Amino acid sequence: MVDKVKVKERESTLEELREVNDDLRLPSVPEKVSFPIDVVTPEARTQTPAVGQRASRPDGRMHGLGQTKYIDDMSFPGMIYAKIKRAGVAKARIKKIDLSEAEKMPGVMATLIGSEIPVNSFGPSYQDQPIIADKLIYHAGDPVAAVAATTEQLAADALEKIKIEYEQLEPIFDPIEAMKESAPEVHPGQGNIYSSKIIQKGDVDKGFKDSYRTYENTFSTQMVEHVPMEPHASIAEWDANGRVIIHSSLGRITLGRADIARTLDMPINRIRVVATVVGGNFGGKNEITTEPILALLSRKTGRPVKGIYTREDEFMSSTTRHPFIMDYKTGVSEEGKIISRKVRLVCDGGAYCSWSETTLGKACILSAGPYNIENLYVEAYAVYTNKTMTGAMRGFGAPQVCFAYESHMDDIARDLDIDPLQIRRINAFHEGSASPTGQVLQSVVVKDSLDVAADRFGWEEWQK
C-alpha cells in the first residue's frame, strides 16, 4: 500500500493544527485526587485476639475520602442510560403501547417492553411479579416500558413520548376489604389472601376462662420506605462470549444471579453479578429490579447500560414495610402473669408477594412477645392490594408486632397497677423456656436486658 500522505505533509498539517489551538497538545486527564498512600493502620486492627476489638472498617477511610465507588460512580466507554416508565394507574389492562414517538427521539437507542422478556416473572416465594408489566397493571409503580438513550435526560424525555392505552379496572386498597369474598381480585383467578399461618399451643379459651381479667385492643401500622441514601443502581454489559456482567447494588448476589438467569432464560454461569459497597439496604435491595431490563437493553444496543432509580422510582417501585392490622386479646392472673393470648394479624401484602411469606411467618412467631405464654393462638394473613409491594425490611414484621404486644403489655400493667418493668420481668422467657413454636430456647437474656436498660435509664429514680 502506498501512503497517500507524505511525512512532510503530515508535519506541516500538524504545525498548522498546533497554531490553531495549542491546547490540543494537553491530554485530558481526570481530576487529581490525592491522599496519603503510606498510612498507619489504626491500632485496634493490629491487635490480637481479633474478636472483641473495636477494629475500624477498611471501607471507613474510603468513605471519608469520597473514594468508595458505588455503582453510579462507575462508567464504561460507550455507556448509555436507561429510564423506566411507570404505570401511574393502580389497576388496569394494557390495551396498547405505542413506542414510535419515543423511538424517534434524538439519542434514543432502544426500548423494551414486557413481552420481550424471556421469562417475565420473579419473586422469592411466588413468582407473581413481572419484570415489566405486559398485560395487567397491579399497582401504580409498575414498570411498563424502558428506554435507553445516550444521556439520562434524553431517556427521561423519551419516557414522556410513550403512549399507553389502559382499560381501567377496579382496584382495591384496603386489606380488610380485600379479604372479603366479594372483593375484586388483585391477581385474577387467585384469591387475595395469598398466605396464612397458624400457631397453636395449649387451650386459649380455657385460658381466658381461668384468667383474672382479659384485655383486648387493635393496633395498626403504616407503610414505610427503606430510604437507602443510594437509590437502586445497576450497569449491564455483555462480552463476546455471550456472558453478561451486571454491576449491581444488590445485597444478595448469589440468589440475585439465579433470578436474573431465570428471567433471561440463560445458564447461571453466563452471568456475573458484581456488587460494591451497597449504599444502604435495610432489606430493600434483596431482590432484582431492573437488572434483566438493563441486560436486554444492553444486548439490543451492544453498549453498557446504566440504570439508576430516581428517588421517586425508589418510593413507587421498590419494596416497603408491610402495614399490619393486629387484634390482641390477653388473659392474665391477678399478679400479672399472662395466661392466654389470642392474636390475629392481617398484613397488607401490596401487589406482589415478595418477602411477605417470611414476614408473615416471623411476625406470627414473634407476636406473643418474649414471654412465657402457655395458651396461645395466632392466625395471620397476607393479603394482596393494589399498592406498592411490601417486602423485606429490617425486622420482617417484628417492629409491627412489637409495637402491639408492648403497648398491650403496658395497658395491662397500668390496669393491674403493676410497674411496667415488673410485669415484663414476671413473664419474660428464661433459659430453657419453650417458644410459641415449642422450641427450647437457649442463651436467653430477656431479664438481663430489662435490668441493664432499666439501670442505665435509672428507671426507679426517674422523675417527671
Partner 1 sequence: MIRKGKGIGCMWYPIGFTVAANPSAATVKVNEDGTATLLTGTVETGQGSLTVLGQIAAEELGISTEDVHVVSADTDATPMDTGAIASRTTYVTGNAIKLAAEKAKEILFEVAAPMLNVKPSQLEAADRKVQVKGFPQRFLPIDEVALQAQFVQGQPPIGSASYNPPTVDMDPETGQGKPFSTYVYATQIAEVEVDDETGDVNVTYMAAAHDCGTAINPMLVEGQIQGGISMGIGFALQEEMLFDEKGVQINPNLTNYIMPTSLDMPDIDVDIVENFDPTGPFGAKGVGEPTAVPTAAAICNAIYDAVGVRITSLPATAEKVLALIKEKNEKDIKQLSPAE
Partner 2 sequence: MDVELIINGEEKTASIPPETTLLKLLREEFYLTGAKTGCDVGDCGACTVLVDGEAVNSCLMLAGQLQGRSVETIEGLANLEDFHPLQKNFEDLGSLQCGFCGPGMILSAKQLLEENPEPTKQEIQDAIAGNLCRCTGYTKIVEAVADAAKEMREEP
Contact between 76 and partner 2 by CB under 8 A: the answer reads no
Residue from 4, 8, 25, 54 touching partner 2 (CB under 8 A): that is 54
**What are the φ and ψ backbone dihedral angles of 30, each rounded to 5 degrees?**
-60, 160
Least Cβ distance, residue 276 to ligand FES (angstroms): 14
* Residues in 338-397 that interact with partner 2 by CB under 8 A: none
Contact between 459 and partner 1 by CB under 8 A: the answer reads yes
Is there a contact between 265 and 118 (Cβ–Cβ < 8 Å)? Answer: yes
User: What's the grid cell of residue 130?
Assistant: 413481572
Binding mask 222-241 for ligand FES (x = CB under 6 A): -------x------------
Least Cβ distance, residue 277 to ligand FES (angstroms): 10
**How many alpha carbons fall within 13 Å on the CB side of residue 463?**
1
- Residue linked to cell 392490622: 325
Strand partners, 146: 84, 112
Nearer to partner 1, 146 or 278 (CB): 278
The pairing of beta strand 324-332 with beta strand 233-238: unpaired
Is there a contact between 313 and 350 (Cβ–Cβ < 8 Å)? Answer: no
Residue from 53, 67, 222, 439 touching partner 2 (CB under 8 A): that is 67
How would you label 174-186 residue by residue, b for 16+ Cβ within 10 Å and e otherwise?
ebeebbeeebeeb
The pairing of beta strand 338-348 with beta strand 375-383: parallel
- Residue 36 touches which of ligand FES, partner 2, partner 1, none (Cβ within 5-8 Å per kind): partner 2
Residue from 121, 150, 214, 220 touching partner 1 (CB under 8 A): that is 220
Reduce the DSSP state of residue 87 to 3 states and report it.
Answer: coil
Among residues 231, 247, 128, 125, the alpha carbon closest in space to that of 188 is found at 128
* Residues in 43-62 that interact with partner 1 by CB under 8 A: 44-59
Size of the site for ligand FES (CB under 6 A): 2
Contact between 280 and ligand FES by CB under 6 A: the answer reads yes
Reduce the DSSP state of residue 150 to 3 states and report it.
Answer: coil
Contact between 72 and ligand FES by CB under 6 A: the answer reads no
User: What's the grid cell of residue 105?
Assistant: 427521539
Least Cβ distance, residue 155 to partner 1 (angstroms): 19
Least Cβ distance, residue 89 to partner 2 (angstroms): 24
d(CA 340, CA 170): 41
Size of the site for partner 1 (CB under 8 A): 124
Residue from 230, 313, 348, 357 touching partner 2 (CB under 8 A): that is 230
Residues that bind partner 2 (CB under 8 A): 30-37, 42, 54, 56-57, 59-70, 72-73, 153, 226-231, 277-282, 308, 310-311
Residues that bind ligand FES (CB under 6 A): 229, 280
